[in-house]
Copies of this chain bind each other. A is one copy, B any other.
Amino acid sequence: MEQKDGLSIPGVSRLERRLARRLLEMRGDPRIRIVLWNGEELRIGDVPPVGRLVLRERRVIWDLLRHPGSLGLGEAYASGRLEIEGDLAAVLKISFAVPARETALQLAIWRWQLMRRRSRSLGDARANIHHHYDLGNDFYALWLDERMAYTCAYFPTPSTSLEDAQLAKFEHVARKLWLQPGERVVEAGCGWGSLALHMARHHGVQVTAYNISSEQIRYAREQARAQGVEGRVEFREDDYRNISGEYDVFVSVGMLEHVGPENYAALGRVIDRCLGPHGRGLVHSIGRVKRRPMDPWISRRIFPGAYSPTLEEMVGVLSPHDFAVLDVEDLRLHYEKTLEHWLERFEKNAAAVERRFDERFVRMWRLYLSGSIAAFHASNLQLWQIAFARACSNRLPWTRAHLYAREA
């Protein structure tokens, strides 16, 4: 035992120092340093540091070695046993820039993890959605934009405000859908209803919107009343698999992530069933370049049951049916920007979040938001919007120029 400032500080053994150095070398970037619980700093080379992983307890070494991916880091960080000094997103960007180890064993593990996913019942889906989206509308109001859009925004320029960028996203989606007044639109997974309300108010369409988050549906119905469009938007608290009726347009923004590949065929059948002969649609989802299981920490703590598909998997939802993909756009860097806005607002309200939940919750969400910034920046995640139509329909916009025309 050493003495420092009158407190007893546990010493660092030779083995611990060797293992901590090994952790540093696994990260392999000289801009990251490790600080041990006795204040001792380990580094590779002499470049100025971007961040320091501060191991407050010796067990963090074992946490990180046993779970070298996000799980060890996430749990240690959330508990406060691990501190990260410096800009958290910047540190994580450096980590994500190191390619994952794609050994044959690792690939086999990933394949096994993907294989053992099973089709979830409506009840499982509801529990997974409840875990995240029913944390309380007040909580989300602390850091989302005024319309409560919790999906990637569209920034016409990088300096557009978050409020304007969410509105621009609604408009971008509505234009890709080529909405005509009087058309019937079904939305699968409508969040707090802001896109549905926008389409009904500004494009003269009749919207039926599905969601299984009871908190979100309650809020969306209130908004419809407050905005006087109750007659034009119906919010149904139900699963996308129970969509009934025939529509001209199908839209789903940020739901596919929660569907899981085991249910893609069912989703494809729903879209096929509910669209008429000139049906069109758009699916907006987080995706990945390579087929991989979800990040294990995100899967455990933030989004149980979630999965980010490849573009081939997204197209595969549609391809068994008579649909042609008309337009795909990757908005990855727009999601990085969106998350930067959310994190900034979250940090401003961190004290209020901590009063409502606890410190651990604040740290978990800080890590989730920062990690997501890093993941989109490093291209671990993509954001694809796929617009499609009945293959045999020729009622289509002639070019995409109308997406970029100034508003009338």
Contact = CB atoms under 8 A, between A and B. Distances in A.
B391 A289 contact: yes
A315 interface: yes
B398 A378 contact: no
Given A328-B325, A379-B391, A158 B319 contact: no
B396 A333 contact: yes
B404 A323 contact: no
A398 B333 contact: yes
A94 B326 CA distance: 23
Contact of A330 (B158, B316, B324): B324
A312 interface: yes
A382 interface: yes
A146 interface: no
B312 A290 contact: no
Interface residues of A, number: 41
A384 to B, nearest CB: 8
A33 interface: no
Nearest to A154: B399
Contacts of A328: 325, 327-328
A126 B194 CA distance: 56
Nearest to A332: B324
Interface in A309-346: 310-312, 315-316, 319, 322-330, 332-333
Given A290-B319, A312-B312, A398 B157 contact: yes
B401 A156 contact: yes
A398 B157 CA distance: 7
Nearest to A97: B392
Contacts of A379: 324, 391-394
A273 to B, nearest CB: 18
A377 interface: yes
Contacts of A384: 325
A170 to B, nearest CB: 16
Nearest to A96: B392
B330 A329 contact: no
Interface in A255-294: 289-290
A139 B333 CA distance: 48
A300 interface: no
Nearest to A388: B330
Interface string A40-75: 000000000000000000000000000000000000
Interface in A369-396: 377-379, 382, 384, 391-394, 396
A225 interface: no
A400 interface: yes
Nearest to A337: B398
A322 B289 contact: yes
A187 B311 CA distance: 25
A358 to B, nearest CB: 36
Contacts of A97: 392
B325 A327 contact: no
B327 A329 contact: yes
A289 B323 contact: yes
A97 B323 CA distance: 15
Given A289-B319, A379-B391, A391-B379, A400 B312 contact: no
Given A324-B289, A379-B391, A391-B379, A398 B329 contact: no
A69 to B, nearest CB: 19
A310 B315 CA distance: 10
A391 B384 CA distance: 13
Interface of A: 97, 154-158, 289-290, 310-312, 315-316, 319, 322-330, 332-333, 377-379, 382, 384, 391-394, 396, 398-401, 403-404
7 contacts: A155-B398, A289-B319, A289-B323, A326-B330, A327-B329, A378-B392, A379-B394
